[in-house]
Structure 1
């Protein structure tokens, strides 16, 4: 942790000498964690901001914007996110249509804008303001592995860009959507932050090439038997006598 803080200080001093990092910039911390197993995970992002860097008013509340880039091996279900948003879940805007059925080798990375408001006057005296965002992500199916000893593959998700929108102005600004409706652009300050890691690693299960024939033939047999049974029911349903017991 000490080495990470030293590296962060060196980077900030270098950026300051280049005129990129200003002394009035917000300095914050970002922590990331993954929960759940298999193909369906939750990415938890916790952002901690010093309270003296915030000018948060009810008329113009501050907001955090996380710009996440998901690699081809991961995706989000936009219908799931819309459903969660109605119950207080994250407000997420995707940069393109997300095909949830496509495998990893036929997919491209996609970008997400994750909006999170800052709480108003909810931090302890002298303590940081903490915002936590939970984003459900799903792993895509990968090509079967030719090595029977390989059961998982690794997918890397890098940390997001962190933007800040408030009544205070900062030296580094960029334009981004104002909210999840994407109806207008606002000026956001892109922030430098320190984190406990540089990226997240997902271990995703993969199949084996030697099992392809078993899976294909087994699926065909089950499909044919299921269709045959349904056709039998449709053809002979009228000849069945259904008895109803009297109570």
Structure 2
């Protein structure tokens, strides 16, 4: 009887410990029954801002992303920006290669058969993948840099300018679950119950296949993230010629070409030695 009483007492203590959460073991996988309301309460907005730097026909597109949570919460996560380049702009792939070699930016062209010499009306929209880097001045911020250039546009009949609209990009996030070991994708509440990683739970919309890294040919399934943009889009103003000036421009260009050709020919005849 004494042994049975001791056994019952031990079982009772174990049950009490489990209820109190003293013997819990954090699970390694996120459960699927966590409520959206509880998750969204812990998730802050993702803010994206696009800026265009410099003047003239050669600009720099700067994209900044700010998370409301500390970057330590997703230190094994990466951020990829899929930027759509309108027909009025182009990105020089040779310039991107040079910038990658100098470690200035991590961007690569997605579009094939890309012609940087084509005018606006003969070109197509292109895509660029930019692997964002953490901002040294902001612990929970990323930024990406991309040089863009204006294309040639058709002359207008009345207005001497046109506008290029740069739409907001796609924001992709990938978290390495193998490295995170349940910390990045999951969190634990005060009772030991796991909840999914708030950023992905709140704002991930769909899966997008893209290279895992710039120098890696492996394909990862990135999360297409929903965000709030400071500006709806970026609008660039481009000066263009007027059709009423066509005759004047062609005449002046022809005269200058004839004059320069005559001067070159005169210099060759005077100082050069021609041999037939």
TM-score bracket, normalised by the shorter chain, equals 0.7 to 0.9
Q: Distance in 1 between matches of 2:149 and 2:175?
A: 32
Please list every run of 5 or more consecutive structure 1 residues that lacks an aligned counterpart in the other structure: 1-18, 240-247
Counterpart selection for 1:42 from 46, 57, 60: 60
Q: Which residue of 1 aligns with 2:243?
A: 209
| CA–CA distance in structure 1, aligned partners of residues 44 and 113 of structure 2 | 33
Q: Is the 8 A contact 1:173 1:190 kept in 2?
A: yes
Alpha-carbon distance in structure 1 between the residues aligned to 2:153 and 2:230: 29
- Which of the residues 36, 48, 73 maps onto 2:88? 73
- 1:75 deviates by 1.0
Q: Greater shift after overlay, 227-236 or 198-207? A: 227-236
1:93 aligns with 2:108: yes
Q: Secondary structure at the match of 2:227?
A: strand
Relative to structure 1, the CA distance from residue 229 to residue 69 in structure 2 (aligned partners, 3 Å threshold; closer, same or farther) is: same
* SS of residue matched to 2:213: coil
Q: What residue number does 2:221 align with?
A: 187
Quote the RMSD (CA, aligned, Å): 2.7
Partner residue, 2:161: 152
* 8 Å CA contact retained: 2:96, 2:108: no
CA contact (8 A) 2:71 2:140 kept: no
Could you report, residue by residue, the CA deviation over 1:113-157 in whole angstroms, capped at 9, with x for unpaired residues? 1112447xx68xxx751122222111212111111xx12111111
TM superposition score normalised by structure 2 = 0.66
Against the structure 1 CA distance between its residues 52 and 129, is the aligned structure 2 distance closer, same or farther, given a 3 Å change threshold? closer
Aligned residues: 208
Unaligned runs of 5+ in 2: 1-35, 177-183, 186-199
Larger helix fraction of residues: 2
Contact 1:75 1:98 survives alignment (8 Å): no
CA shift for structure 1 position 52: 5.7
- Give the structure-1-normalised TM-score: 0.73
**Higher Rg:** 2
Contact persistence 1:38–1:205 (CA under 8 A) = no
Aligned to 1:220: 254
